[in-house]
Chain A
Amino acid sequence: MSAPLLEVRGLTKRFGGLTANEDVGFTLREGEIMGLIGPNGAGKTTVFNALAGFFPPTSGTILLDGAPVEGLPPEAIAARGVARTFQIVRIFRSMTVLENVMVGAMLRHRAVPKAAVVARETLDFTGLGRRAHDPAAQLTVAEQKRLELTRALATGPRLLLLDEVMAGLTASEVQEAVELVKRIRDRGIACVVVEHVMEGIMPIADRMVVLENGRKIAEGPPAAISVDPNVIRAYLGEGYLAPGP
């Protein structure tokens, strides 16, 4: 068996005296979808930022195709095939939808006309094609999130990090997003999905990793996770338990 696409070992991150992540580890194979969940402040975003190169970890290793990438800057991580979205959307507001995606496509295609073609294809794939020439700032929130995902996808990643792409969406928009993530996986792109919206992540994740207070408290298939006493306690303890569907 070949080396996993992503392997995280002993990931620890401290901010001053505060420990955001302690000894987190997991692996991800090509084309796999992993859900990363946990109560607020569990350290999901910190893991995410370490993977994307935004905060170098205090200790631990992150192997991409067996090569260490921890501490590399975000642009170098992106060049190695890892793309991300942001929890609070960060689209380029002065550009059109197409131009936004072109910036992503330029990572692999420096020539502008080629980047435009790739961007257009990616927009059609994610269903934003008809808005290609609209100013990005005019999109709805759901569309902006989709634009960010499209832009990340246009960089031609092998691993996509999705940070709460479903938060704040209506039920039908969540459904569309779920379908989209499935189609992305069908292209052979692995995904790490940080999500609060459980009905979004449960049906598509191959595996779930649950964090609490910066530590991994559970890992396994969604069905097992939803009945895991540790996980339920973690959410209950935070007072977040709500009746599920």
Chain B
Amino acid sequence: MRRGGTALALLGLAAAVAFPLLTTRVTWQNAAILMMMTAQLGVAWNILGGYAGQVSLGHAAFFGAGAYVSTLLSVKLGVSPWLGMGAGAVVAAGLGVLVGTPCFRLKGHYFAMATIAVGEIVQALVNGSDALGGAVGFNLPLGETGFWGFVFNRSKLPYYYIALGLLLATVGVNWIVNRSHVGYYLRAIKDEPDAARSLGVSLTRYKMIAMILSAGLTAMGGTLYAQKELFIDPGSTLSTSLSIKIALVAILGGAGTLWGPVLGAVVLTAIEEATRIAFGGTGRGTDLVVYGALLVVIAVFQPSGIAGLFTRRAPRPPAPPEPEARFP
């Protein structure tokens, strides 16, 4: 199973590298870029939401931080978006610490709801701030093109390979985390937080590590998005529906698994695009009907995500009997 997985991953990688050489159709290349960008976000979310089990529905705030920080730095100060990407990741990580400090005390639904609130607050603040472009957002100037300027207008290929690179780097971070004691600790925290503490695991410290990595990587995806679209506004980079979509990608594929979110992104983007092409354009929401219905069907029939199809399910253990008091 594990060896087969590695072979599959290498095969997928080779296909991903070769893909743009096989098709010159811009629509296909665009769809592939979108898929990889979505996958990257799901993989980044997975560190916090999947491994550590802290279901965030406010990740758009980190995505937006990446998009806005790099854009502001480049528009106002002429800083290369590559540096902006790093700065965005740092800002998002800081925001993550700010969010985590109060919210990590909350459990389950309470944590999820609080992160929605944080995401909405950030969106509302940006919406109301003229300095940050308000509800109108920013058009990025075409200015300096080429690698250092991070703007490519002749071909989509550079975006394709940057998206692929960022996705691989994010999967790589997950892989390293997963293999190190941090990964074990995160899964322990998700399964039984009290037991983890009794073994010397500081919940706050390790949840925070997960948060910082997850937020920082999500922000890098935000910068890539801004540079590719050359337009950002609160609706496209900070909305709760984006937050939920990021979580959905991971959940659909299989939260807490290395490749699940990638699988989820492929399937979700394919469903979205297919329904949009087949039923969209009428302005009558047929695509939404089909898309929504599919989500429900998947949630009902494959609750552990697509990756769950490949793993054995462990049977439920019997409940421990009640202790009895006895005295000799």
Contact = CB atoms under 8 A, between A and B. Distances in A.
Contacts of B184: 95, 99, 102-103, 106, 112
A244 B195 contact: no
Given A168-B320, A240-B325, A138 B314 contact: yes
A89 B327 contact: no
Contacts of A79: 200
A244 B197 CA distance: 38
B207 interface: no
B187 A94 contact: yes
Interface in A165-220: 167-168, 196-199, 202
Contact of B181 (A88, A115, A196, A232): A115
Contact of B198 (A78, A87, A99, A140): A78
B198 A52 contact: yes
A67 interface: no
Interface string B296-328: 000000000000000000111110111111111
Given A95-B191, A144-B317, A196-B325, A103 B201 contact: yes
B314 A92 contact: no
B326 A198 contact: yes
A95 B234 CA distance: 40
B183 to A, nearest CB: 9
B196 interface: yes
Contacts of A238: 325
B200 A92 contact: no
A91 B192 contact: yes
A146 interface: no
A198 B328 contact: yes
A106 B182 CA distance: 10
A158 interface: no
Interface string A32-50: 0000000110000000000
B126 interface: no
B187 A198 contact: no
B323 A167 contact: yes
Given A73-B197, A92-B187, A138-B315, 13 more contacts: A39-B325, A89-B320, A95-B188, A106-B199, A107-B199, A112-B184, A141-B317, A164-B323, A199-B328, A238-B325, A240-B327, A241-B327, A242-B327
Interface of B: 179-181, 184-185, 187-188, 190-192, 194-203, 256, 314-318, 320-328
11 contacts: A52-B198, A74-B197, A88-B320, A92-B191, A92-B195, A103-B185, A103-B188, A137-B316, A198-B327, A240-B325, A241-B327
- Closest 9 pairs (CB-CB, A-B): A244-B328, A167-B323, A78-B200, A90-B195, A107-B200, A74-B197, A92-B191, A90-B192, A168-B321
